[in-house]
Structure 1
Amino acid sequence: MGGVLEGFATIAIVIGCGALLAHLGIIDLKAQRSLSLTSFYLASPALLVTVLEDADATKVLSGPLVATAGGVVITAALLVAVAVWRGLDAGTSVIAALCSAYVNAGNLGIPIAAYALGDASLIVPALLMQLLVLQPLALTVLDVMTSPTRPSLTKVLTRPVTNPLTIGSLLGLVLSLTDTELPRTLHAPLELIGGMAVPAMLIAYGVALRLGPTPGRGVTPAALGVVTVLKMVVQPLVAYLIGRFAVGLDAEELFAVTLLSALPTAQNVFVIALRYDRGVLLARDAIFVSTLASAPVALVISALLA
């Protein structure tokens, strides 16, 4: 557990540096966006390629993927059931489902996997489940609801593989499955670029925490409570139960799957909510509250499973 706590401390310090830079006016929201986009479009895909190139792809795509996917699907299904019972419209229900099951795999998942767990490839099951299944499905439903014309089949099918993180993950997995090593002249710059992914994401995250919007009125405590409990308690618990009793993960894999399923709601859920004008306040507040809750939840999981 000591190594995990040390990893979280490292992450917290770098996030704190980002918040301090924002507080001093050295980095503003425009610079924060540049940092985030550079990491998203360049550094993170490079990191995923180089990490997965040397990873055991069969291990990544087997038990951990099943447990992670089970946590996402069951949690989202529970939220949809509650939304139907409460009579929410489909668009708000989709955003609420994302709030309850879409983890911050990019900004926090990669750093936690890399530093707290010692292996960035551990986040890949969550990334693939979200980028290839959950997000495309949600965006398709929202497109159908808000667009005057039905989105084309080509647009629906190609959306998942246009995400840079998906491309990086798939390229790395192909290299691993085919036992192919990149030439040193290509691997070296990718490795160098990938090295900036984690610090850039964490600094940008710290800036966002300092300068971003904070919760306000507009969301009932009951609605926010349901989403937060599903995200921070039910999702990791379901992933743990499936990992332990259904697919028989070893202790290290079980800890990783449970911890990464307890990551807070991803910030891009707020971006999606703004884009489609559905559940905007719920997304904003769910991200904030789940982010605050993530540290104590992670400590509890570490104490029980690490």
Structure 2
Amino acid sequence: MGGAAALEKLVPVLLAFGGGVLLARRKTVPAEASKAFSDYAFLFAVPCYLFGNIYAADLGALFDWRAIGGYAAAAALAVLAVVLGAAACGIREPRAVALRVMAGVQVNTAYFAVPVFITFFGTAAPIFPVLLFQVCVLSLVVIALMELGRAGDGGPGTRLSRALAASLATPLVLACNAGILLNLLSVHVPKVLLDGAAFVGDSASPVALFALGLHLGGAGLGVRDTTREEAALIAFKCLAFPLLAWAVCAGLFGVRGPWLAYLVLIAAMPTPQNLFIFAQRYDIGVDLSASVVVKSSVVSLLLLPLWLQTVAA
């Protein structure tokens, strides 16, 4: 796929995203409204989209264990690299390390990857196995580190179990699990319900991108005040991690074809907005997290044509 074709694929993404930025800048729509749009996408539209598509999917093709194993191995190496990098910089406080792991390795699935994959490939189904891995494994690592450095009621084990239970009970994960279970059991879901889920799910992509645009338009971008650590985390997330995923998946696990493109593009997605939520919840690196979320989103958007052209070559 050439550069022009890649840019054409990005037009719907840029239109929805840019519309949010423009309206927030002009104060036509308050930037604070981004939370309502984001909540709609995250809590309702994206779960509807994923449920319907997973229920109707060929799970044998969706769960390519070689591909998912390659991504998991790349993510494990990336976590190790971030931890070692933080230690080399003198950062050893568990919450601070966990924040940097999340910034450098976790990806924005619901608000960014889903709309991008729908635009590029016509489906976001390949994101689902990575989403489960991220929630059930990577988030567990981050939460465990956060809880180790947090003071509160109960021991670390109690706090960890509560946090993990809450993360697994999100509508996104529940919708995915319901889709898998009903698919495996061959339970008939009435067509009217699937049509309703598809109708709502189709709005997930533009609404999520519009919400992100509103958020970024209201937050603004201060490129000059970017610290070295922020630049390093953004470079690792947007460049090093996708390259690592490519090298591990293709070189060590022999992943080829569409799945290699899927995994590299997923790894190239920006740092998730949940980083800011975790920073506020655990009272660590709030300013750093806000900056990395905003700037990695912009950098990822700018690099998408390059990644799309490269993986499709």
On whether the aligned pair clears a TM of 0.5, the verdict is: yes
Residue among 79, 102, 105 paired with 1:76: 79
Alignment correspondent of 2:90: 87
Moved more, 138-147 or 80-89: 138-147
Within the candidate set 11, 22, 25, 2:24 is matched to 22
SS at match of 1:278: coil
1:284 lines up with 2:290 in the alignment? yes
Give the distance between the partners of 2:88 and 2:180, measured in 1 at CA.
Answer: 41
Confirm or deny: 8 A CA contact 1:96 1:279 kept in the other structure.
no
Q: Is the 8 A contact 2:95 2:148 kept in 1?
A: no
Q: Contact 1:52 / 1:169 at 8 angstroms: preserved in 2? A: yes
Distance 1:25 1:224, change over 3 A: closer
Quote the residue 2:272 is aligned against.
266
Select which of 55, 58, 62 maps to 1:56: 58
Aligned twin of 2:179: 172
In structure 2, C-alpha distance between the alignment counterparts of 1:4 and 1:67, rounded to whole Å = 26
C-alpha displacement at 1:49, in angstroms?
Answer: 0.4
8 Å CA contact 1:15–1:205 kept in 2: the answer is: yes
Which of residues 117, 135, 145 in structure 2 aligns to 1:113? 117
> Are residues 1:209 and 2:211 paired?
no
User: Cα gap change, 1:160/1:271 in structure 2, threshold over 3 Å: closer, same or farther?
Assistant: closer
Does 2:245 match 1:239? yes
Paired position in structure 2 for 1:150: 155
- Which residue matches 2:105? 101
What is the rounded CA distance, in whole Å, between the counterparts of 1:146 and 1:69 in structure 2?
A: 27
Q: Equivalents in 1 of 2:283, 2:225: separation in Å?
A: 14
What is the aligned counterpart of 2:195 among 188, 196, 200?
188
What does 1:121-140 correspond to in 2, within 5 Å? Answer: 121-140=125-144
Instruction: After TM superposition, give the deviation of residue 27 of structure 1 in Å.
Output: 2.0
* Cα drift, residue 109 of structure 1: 0.4
Identity across the alignment (%): 25
- Length-normalised TM-score, structure 2: 0.89
Q: Which amino acid aligns with 2:299?
A: A
Mapped partners of 2:90, 2:262: distance in 1: 36
- Unaligned 5+ segments in structure 1 are none
Query: Cα 1:249–1:8, aligned 2, differ >3 Å: closer, same or farther?
Result: same
* Contact in 1 for aligned 2:17/2:212 (Cα 8 Å): yes
- Alpha-carbon separation, structure 2, partners of 1:217 and 1:225: 11
TM superposition shift of 1:219: 6.5
What letter corresponds to residue 289 of structure 1 in structure 2? K
Moved more, 80-89 or 280-289: 280-289
Kindly state the Cα deviation for residue 217 of structure 1 after the two structures are TM-superposed.
8.2
Q: Please provide the CA RMSD for this pair.
A: 2.2
The separation in 1 between residues aligned to 2:188 and 2:20, in whole angstroms, is 35
Q: Look up the equivalent residue of 1:261 and give its one-letter code.
A: A
Following the alignment from structure 1 to structure 2, what is the Cα–Cα distance between the partners of residues 210 and 233? 24
Number of the residue aligned with 1:44: 46
Residue 125 of structure 2: SS of its match in structure 1?
Answer: helix
SS in 2 for 1:121: coil
Q: Is the 2:95–2:147 Cα contact (8 Å) retained in structure 1? A: no
Where in structure 1 do 4 or more consecutive aligned residues deviate above 3 Å? 2-5, 175-181, 213-220
- More moved, 296-305 vs 82-91: 296-305
**217 and 268 in structure 1: CA distance in 2 versus 1, 3 angstrom threshold:** farther
Question: How many Å apart are 1:97 and its aligned residue?
Answer: 0.9
SS state of the match for residue 43, structure 1? Answer: helix
1:11–1:111 contact (8 Å) kept in structure 2 = yes
Q: String of CA shifts for 1:86-108, please: whole Å, max 9, x gaps.
A: 22122111101111011111111
2:263 and 2:197 mapped to 1: Cα distance? 27
Cα distance change, pair 276–81 in 1 and its aligned pair in 2 (3 A): same
